[in-house]
Chain A
Amino acid sequence: MIKTENLSCAYGEDEDKYLVIKDLNLHIERGSFTAVLGHNGSGKSTLAKHFNGILLPSGGKVYVDGLDTSDENMIFKIRSLAGMVFQNPDNQMVAAMVEDEVAFAPENLGVDPAEIRRRVDRCLEIVNMTKFAKTAPSRLSGGQKQRVAIAAVLAMEPECIILDEPTAMLDPSGRQEVIRTIKMLNKTKGMTVVLITHYMEEAAEADRVIVFDKGEIVMDDTPKKVFSQTEKVKATGLDVPQVTELVHALRKEGIDLPEDIINVQECADAIFERLK
């Protein structure tokens, strides 16, 4: 779905040149759910912005569904194939009413009005916001706003959705709403999802976790394989889910538990099995 070939990205010029992404080769498969982790300044948002041509490579290429993002004639096509949701829900709302917000992108793409109506209704239904269609975005909670932002991206009928820390400003239930929506899009609609996050519990829900550090991929595997390397993950300034940390600490004390535990259910199962 998305492919980078020797992608590099530099800020500044000549002596001040600073490489944010170094010679990166990455393939995000169609229908996959990938989480991208990395500390602040590791280059992960810069990478995400290359995935739909907001930023163009300083070196190498990025292909979205086979289309080269540096080809100006293709940029609109690319942006409707790969939509993006950002961190701050208030910075991405443009309309005075939820349904206008969702209609904004297809209107700009010149979609037929009857079709826009159908898309708006369907997308609001997908994110479970139909009853707020006529509400002003400013009256919604953070989680609801982010679901509207997701619907607004879905209205372009993209193949891929990229979310840059979509839950950073939300309360626990807002976070859950958004993550549930993303998972559903991936599992039942087959949408390709790239999720950038600082929450390890969210990354544990993905099929694949990429750890980014100093512009390079340092880990790339299933969440189980990545998080079971607790020390290595921590060395990059990240963390592991609390249950993974607990199991890691208990194993060090010689207690026999599987090392690849990444969620509460698995952890409870394993402990219960040995204590019952």
Chain B
Amino acid sequence: MIRVKNLSYIYQPGMPFENQALYDINFEIPDGDFAAIIGHTGSGKSTLIQHLNALIRPTSGSIEIDGENICDKSADLKSIRSKVGIVFQYPEYQLFEETVYRDIAFGPKNMGLDEAEIKDRVYEAIKLVDFPEELLEKSPFELSGGQKRRVAIAGVLSMRPKVLILDEPTAGLDPHGRDEILGQIDRMHKENAGMTVIFVSHSMEDVARLAKHIIVLNHGRVAMDGEVADIFARGEELEKMGLSVPQITQLTRELIARGINIRPDIYTVDFAKNIYKELFCAREEKK
């Protein structure tokens, strides 16, 4: 369980460029949750996720993970960071080792694990992201963009984090690459009962497809926090915050505005298909 209480953060306090990025943030993410954080550019999403594994310490407030306050001076940073893994934006640019194997092994090695255990974890991680074993001895720089990204994610998974955080995991990918990465993240979440996944995204379609729970940030504050259907039913408010709803939800809104009686919480194409099919069938019968 992640519990964020009264969290505020100020960049460069007391300096001429002092800038408050987060204001009194409160939320909870239960174990095994699949949460999305959305918000306009500069809303504080990246600052917030860096707090979740103590890369940044709050100016005030606290963050508890499994009951432990990670903002405490005495907190064990090493154990926090192997428990909460962050995959940053465009992670393919963070690869640095000579071989794919060594890149993925870097985390477990720093955790002080023995060679056999490290090997197990590397193989487990590449299986999770569907990366071919034959390429383990290749240089990560010879891989395609999509493969590099998978290696970078495997490098975090090899630490077996309890909480996996991804900052815009599909940015810059084509639709097929996007489907692949999202499918893998979804599968990982399903297969590892209890693993919490949090992702930041600008794609409302991706959020609609994966998340159970959405936290909306607006100018450094939590503007909404709730279930996906409830959040996307508030399209107008989201638009005022520089966000949007999936195209399929825009369609629903447009039809409601024209007086068609239809539920407002439709946010995936599959679900929409069933709803519209029923509507058309009911219409046929009436005729």
Does B194 sit within 8 A of A, measured CB to CB? no
Give chain A interface residues in 191-242, CB to chain B under 8 Å. 198, 200-201, 237-239, 241-242
Contact B255 A271 (CB under 8 A): yes
Verify if A265 is at the interface (C-beta below 8 Å from B). yes
9-residue interface stretch from B46-54, B64-72, B277-285: B277-285
Docked-complex contact A168 and B172, CB < 8 angstroms: yes
| Complex: A201 Cα to B251 Cα, angstroms | 13
Contact between B258 and A268, CB atoms less than 8 A apart? yes
B175 at the interface (CB under 8 A from A): yes
Residues of B within 8 A of A40 (CB): 144-146, 172-174, 177
Q: Assess whether B176 is in contact with A242, with CB atoms less than 8 Å apart.
A: no
Measured CB to CB, the closest approach of chain A to B280, in angstroms, equals: 5
| A246 interface residue (CB < 8 Å to B) | yes
- Interface stretch, picked from B20-28, B183-191, B268-276, is B268-276
Pairwise interchain contact A174-B41, C-beta atoms closer than 8 A: yes
Please give the distance in Å from B167's CB to the nearest CB on chain A: 12
B40, B145, B146: most-surrounded residue (chain A CB, <10 A):
B40
Point out the residues of chain B lying under 8 angstroms from A201, CB to CB: 247
Instruction: Write the nearest CB–CB distance from B17 to chain A, whole angstroms.
Output: 10
Given contacts A40-B177, A237-B174, A239-B175, contact A250 B242 (CB under 8 A): no
A72 to chain B, nearest CB (A): 32
B251 to chain A, nearest CB (A): 5
A245 CA to B175 CA, complexed, in Å: 14
Q: Is A253 an interface residue (CB 8 A)?
A: yes
Within 8 A of B (CB), among A30-52: 38-42
Complex Cα spacing A40 to B90, Å: 14
On whether A246 and B277 interact (CB within 8 A), knowing A200-B175, A237-B176, A268-B258, the answer reads no
For B39, B41, B146, B205, the residue with the greatest tally of chain A CB atoms inside 10 Å of its CB is B41
In the bound complex, how far is the Cα of B178 from the Cα of A267, in angstroms? 25
Docked CA distance A38–B177 (Å): 12
Shortest CB distance B208–A (Å): 10
B276 nearest CB neighbor, chain A only:
A250
- Checking B172, B259, B276, B277 against A165 with a beta-carbon cut-off of 8 angstroms, the contacting residue is B172
- The residue that B248 contacts in the complex, of A168, A198, A243, with Cβ under 8 A, is A243
- B62 at the binding interface (Cβ < 8 Å): no
Q: A246-B273, A250-B276 are in contact. Are A172 and B251 (CB under 8 A)?
A: no
Contact A242 B248, CB 8 Å, known A237-B174, A255-B280, A271-B255: yes
A274 and B283 contact, CB distance less than 8 A: yes
Residues of A within 8 A of B243 (CB): 171-173
B251 adjacent to A243 (CB under 8 Å): yes
A171-B243, A246-B248 as given contacts; A87 in contact with B172, CB under 8 Å: yes
A142 nearest CB neighbor, chain B only: B41
Q: Is A249 an interface residue (CB 8 A)?
A: yes
Whether B283 lies near A275 (C-beta < 8 A) is yes
> A141–B239 Cα gap in the complex (Å)?
16
Residue of A nearest to B42 (CB): A141
Binary contact readout B69-98 vs A (1 if CB under 8 angstroms, 0 otherwise):
000000000000000000000000000000
* Distance, CA A265 to CA B255, complexed state (A): 10
- CB A264 to nearest CB in B, in angstroms, measures 5
Q: Does B244 have its Cβ within 8 Å of any Cβ on chain A?
A: yes
Contact A250 B273 (CB under 8 A): yes
**CB of B202 within 8 Å of the partner chain:** yes
- Decide yes or no whether B204 CB sits under 8 A from chain A: yes
Judge whether B99 is part of the interface by a CB distance below 8 angstroms. no
Contact in complex: A271, B144 (CB < 8 Å): no
**Known: A246-B272, A271-B276. Contact between A172 and B242, CB under 8 A?**
yes
Chain B residues with CB under 8 Å of A198's CB are 172-175, 178
At the interface, yes or no: A57 with Cβ under 8 Å from chain B?
no
- Say whether, besides A242-B248, A245-B269, A264-B254, A168 and B171 are in contact (CB < 8 Å): yes
- Which A residues form the contact surface with B (CB < 8 A)? 38-42, 87, 141-143, 165, 168-174, 176, 198, 200-201, 237-239, 241-243, 245-246, 249-250, 253, 255, 264-265, 267-268, 271-272, 274-276
21 A–B contacts from the bound complex (CB under 8 Å): A40-B174, A42-B174, A141-B42, A142-B41, A168-B171, A170-B41, A171-B202, A172-B242, A237-B175, A238-B176, A242-B251, A243-B251, A246-B248, A246-B272, A246-B276, A249-B269, A255-B277, A265-B254, A267-B251, A268-B255, A275-B283
Apart from A267-B251, A268-B254, A275-B255, 8 more pairs, CB < 8 Å: A39-B174, A40-B172, A169-B171, A171-B242, A172-B244, A249-B273, A253-B273, A274-B283
Of all A-B residue pairs in the complex, the 3 with the closest CB atoms, nearest first, are A237-B176, A173-B242, A239-B175
